[in-house]
Each structure stands twice: as C-alpha cells, then as structure tokens.
Amino acid sequence: MTTLVVSDLHLGGRTRADVLRHDPAALDALVAALDGVGRLVLLGDVLELRHGPAGEALDAAAPVLQRLGAAVDEVVVVPGNHDHALVGAWLERRARERPPRLGLERRIAPADASWIAEGLAQRLGAPTSVAYPGVWLRDDVYATHGHYLDLHTTVPTFERLAAGVSVRQLGPLPPGADPADYEARLAPVYGWLDAAAAWAPDGRPPAGTGAAARAYRALAGASGRGRVRGRLLAAGLPVAIAAINRAGLGPVRGDLSGPGLRVASLRAMDEVARRLRIGARTVVFGHSHRPGPLPGDDPAEWGRLVNCGCWVRGEHGPAGPDDPYAPGVAVRVPETGAPAVVRLLSPR
C-alpha cells in the first residue's frame, strides 16, 4: 500500500506554533494528500509533551487527530523525543529484561505502550499501532524519528549536552550498539523533561522552551535588539563551545548556520544508521525539522537519508519562499519506486 509519512506535528504546544491546529487550510491540505493513501505514519513528535501535562496536549490535538484518522485505513505512531512518553511505560518494562534488547522494530498495542498512546489511538479513531524505535515501511525502506542522532550531533543543543552527561556516567556506546544502548543514555533525559512539563504552570510552557530557536534566529542576523543579541551570542559562542568540549560533553561545534545544522544532522543520522546496522536502501527520519533532499541539495550529501520536515512555524523566523524549514512537508512511499519528499504547503 502507499504510505504517507509526516513528522514533528508538535500538536498541543502552548506556543501555538503547531500549524495543523491553527491553520485550517494546512489541515485540509494534509487530509487531501491522504487521498489514495492506505497508511499514515506519524514519525515522532506528534504531540508536544514538553509544554504541559499530556492530557492537555491530547485534548488540544483531538480535532486534528480525528480528521487524520478518518482519512486512512491504518495509522502507525513512532514516538520521538518530544512525545517519548507515548512509549515510556512499555520501555520501563523492557528495561527490566536482562539483557534489555529492542531491535529495529517492535510493534506495540497502544494500551500496552502507555495511557497516552491509548488516548492518542482513541482520538485517531482508526486502527492504530505503536512502532518503536522505528518501522519497516517496505523491505528496503525504514523509518524512525531520528532522536538517537542527539548522541552524535555536533550541534550544542540541550539534549546533546545532557546526552554527554549520560555518556560520562554510562560510558560510550558499545561497538555492536542496540537501540537499548541509545535508550539507556537518552531516556533519562526525556523522562526528566517530561516530568518538568507535567508540573508546568497552567497556560505557560516551562522556562527555556524555544530557547534554541531564538538563539538560531539571533545568530542569523535579526534586526534591532535581535541583531545586538546575535552579536553577543556570536562573540561568546567560541568560549562556550571550548568549555563544553573541555568538560567532555561534546564534541560540539559552533557552526549554527543553516548549512552547518543540515550537515551535522545528516552526519549524525548516518552514524546512527551505521551503528544500528540498518540495511535499508532508504532511511526516513525527522527530528531536525529540515526536510530533504530538496531541489538544489547535493544528493551525495544525503545519500540514502530522507527527512520529512515539520509542521511548526517560527523556529527560524518568518518563512519565505526559499526557507527549507518552512512547514508542510511529507514523504510519500509508494508500493514500489523511490520515496519522494512532497511539499504540501507553500512557504509564506
């Protein structure tokens, strides 16, 4: 069957950046793209669970989920980092196994994954399964959210630095890494962030939400106070990067340009695919919010990787016609032939 893959919807966030809840035309466009599609894969960060309690996000996302579920025969949910709690209860049980092993795809009934996953499936109203840490779409196409790349990226995000702390405590990944080895180093970070969000004051996201995006916009050269802030950030960044690397939390680099972010994510995701021995011709991921390959991208740089972008606005300032981070991108996987990146919304 034909599959449509979308990632990083971030439904239910308190910053109102999630496009599908606040732009009816965007939701109509995605539903129209599901015509003739048998299976919808929600490839991580479907819900924004970093802004507040999970029940709040589920209720806010319900109208969008109902429209999507009604348009397809089957939905597969692959949890990411912002909605890692979808599979949290199931992973806790796996962690008690000795040795804990996950493999590349484990299919889980929503009720067995968590109460949040069960609530998500109820709101979708379509036959729904949870797959973790990824899902085989065809014998030669594998899809995963991509948050494991945070152990390898050189971009100094909070999660990359927190992963560095975990590595110092648990040691580096073993040569024959399993997804359980990644979970051991990353799941505690996600659990702490989820717990902080659950206790966030009503109506307000936790302090620090969107800080990385604001820093990227400032460094990109905004006007007015943003330009001054960008100059201050640029001046202090080399010192901060050197301190992070001396502390053993890297290696990270200070290149936060668009090309720099793209290259760092691609190299890190390629490292994940190599370590986990993913033998697919095509590996579809999300997480970085930068879709591709887009027209003008170097195919050799992307290799077998395909990214399905995001459905949130404002991370890198107002979207323009040349903004690669503009929301509204999906990956269409036919029964045969190459998966294709499709832009469903016009940048504006």
| CA nearest to 287, candidates 308, 257, 270 | 308
Print the SS3 string covering 3-61: EEEECCCCECCCCCCEHHHHCHHHHHHHHHHCCCCCEEEECCCCECCCCCCHHHHHHHH
Predicted confidence pLDDT, tens digits, the chain (348 residues) = 899 999 999 999 998 899 999 999 999 999 999 999 999 999 999 999 999 999 999 999 999 999 999 999 999 999 999 999 999 999 999 888 888 788 999 999 999 999 999 999 999 999 999 999 999 999 999 999 999 999 999 888 888 888 888 888 889 999 889 999 999 999 999 998 888 888 877 766 665 555 555 555 444 554 455 554 455 445 566 777 878 877 777 788 888 888 889 999 999 999 999 999 999 999 999 999 999 999 999 999 999 999 999 999 976 555 566 789 999 999 999 999 999 999 999 876
Question: Is residue 284 within 8 Å of 143, Cβ to Cβ?
Answer: yes
Question: Is residue 267 within 8 Å of 152, Cβ to Cβ?
Answer: yes
C-alpha–C-alpha distance, residues 322 and 62, integer Å = 32
The one-letter amino acid at 326: A
Which DSSP string corresponds to 202-216?
TT-PPTTTTHHHHHH
Q: What is the pLDDT of residue 320?
A: 63
The encoded tokens of residue 69 equal 């579920």
DSSP strand E in the chain: where? 3-6, 39-42, 74-77, 105-108, 128-138, 141-144, 282-285, 305-307, 329-333, 340-343
Which own/partner contact pairs does 186-192 have at CB distance under 8 Å and 24+ positions apart?
186/81, 186/147, 186/148, 186/150, 186/151, 186/159, 187/84, 187/88, 187/91, 187/95, 189/159, 189/162, 189/163, 190/81, 190/84, 190/85, 191/84, 191/88
Beta bridge partners of 5: 41, 331
DSSP strand E in 74-223: where? 74-77, 105-108, 128-138, 141-144
C-alpha–C-alpha distance, residues 318 and 222, integer Å = 11
**pTM for the whole thing?**
0.90
